[in-house]
Amino acid sequence: MSETPVLSLVDVTRAYRSGEETLEILRGASLDLHPGEIVALVAPSGTGKSTLLHIAGLLESPQKGQVRVAGNDTGTLSDTARTALRRDEIGFVYQFHHLLAEFTALENVLLPQYVAGVSQADARARATGLLHRFGLGHRLGNLPGKLSGGEKQRVAIARALANRPRLLLADEPTGNLDIHTSDAVFEELLLAVRGEGVGALIATHNEALAARMDRVVTLSEGRIVAR
């Protein structure tokens, strides 16, 4: 493919100290994720999925290697430029929704857009459009405490997509939900991601959900390999 990858990891290494020991979690992990491609990351617990997603999301830095997001070599960016790149190009969905409890569903989807400088009218149109798409048109004014688990996670996904990121990173995005709700929310997530043409890297333990994505990769001895 000739298009610039939305995410390029090149020989990324990351180790943690644990007492006397050094845990080498990532040992030369490389991956190209192309625009619109949806990749599942399925690997045993503790092998470094969250570490990899944090590095891809510019929340952590690798000790060695390169992280390029939408063609930008992030190792050479100032903190301000990294923050702007994260805000404009990357959406995150976690296992837990992390919605702001004192803000309504609509406000939770508006806020990242305001931070990015989107006008009130445009932000409102985008937020209501997304929330309607996730079947939450009747929940715009609800606080998170007044939403079901599945609804909260749908709002979190809408929030992650609000600024039209080119890259979506998700860590067990439906791992907190019962099987039935998880399947439904996951289906909506895939539809939205495909509809928006976002490149997505999604960590999951759910093999059936992984099989619905374009490609499945795993972590083996600190490297990313196809499965």
Footprint of ligand ATP (CB under 6 A): 16, 18, 23, 25, 43, 45-51
Nearer to ligand ATP, 162 or 219 (CB): 219
Q: Which is nearer to ligand ATP, 47 or 176 (CB)?
A: 47
Q: Give the nearest distance from C-beta 105 to ligand ATP in angstroms.
A: 27
Report in angstroms how near the CB of residue 48 gets to ligand ATP at its nearest.
4
Question: Which residue number, 55 or 162, has a Cβ lying nearer to ligand ATP?
Answer: 55
Q: 54 vs 12, 16, 48, 61, 99, CA distance in Å?
A: 12, 14, 10, 8, 19
* H-helix or E-strand spanning residue 218: strand 215-220
Q: At closest approach, how far in Å is the CB of 14 from ligand ATP?
A: 8
State which residue, 51 or 182, has the beta carbon closest to ligand ATP.
Answer: 51
Is residue 56 a contact partner of residue 199, using CB atoms and an 8 Å limit?
no
| Cβ-based nearer residue to ligand ATP, 2 or 45 | 45
Give least dist CB 145 to ligand ATP, A.
26
Cβ at position 23, least distance to ligand ATP in Å = 6
Q: Nearest-CA neighbor of 160 among 80, 57, 35, 36?
A: 57
Between CA 152 and CA 211, with CA 163 as vertex, the angle to 5 degrees is 60
Q: Which residues fall within 8 angstroms of residue 187, CB to CB, at 6 or more apart?
A: none
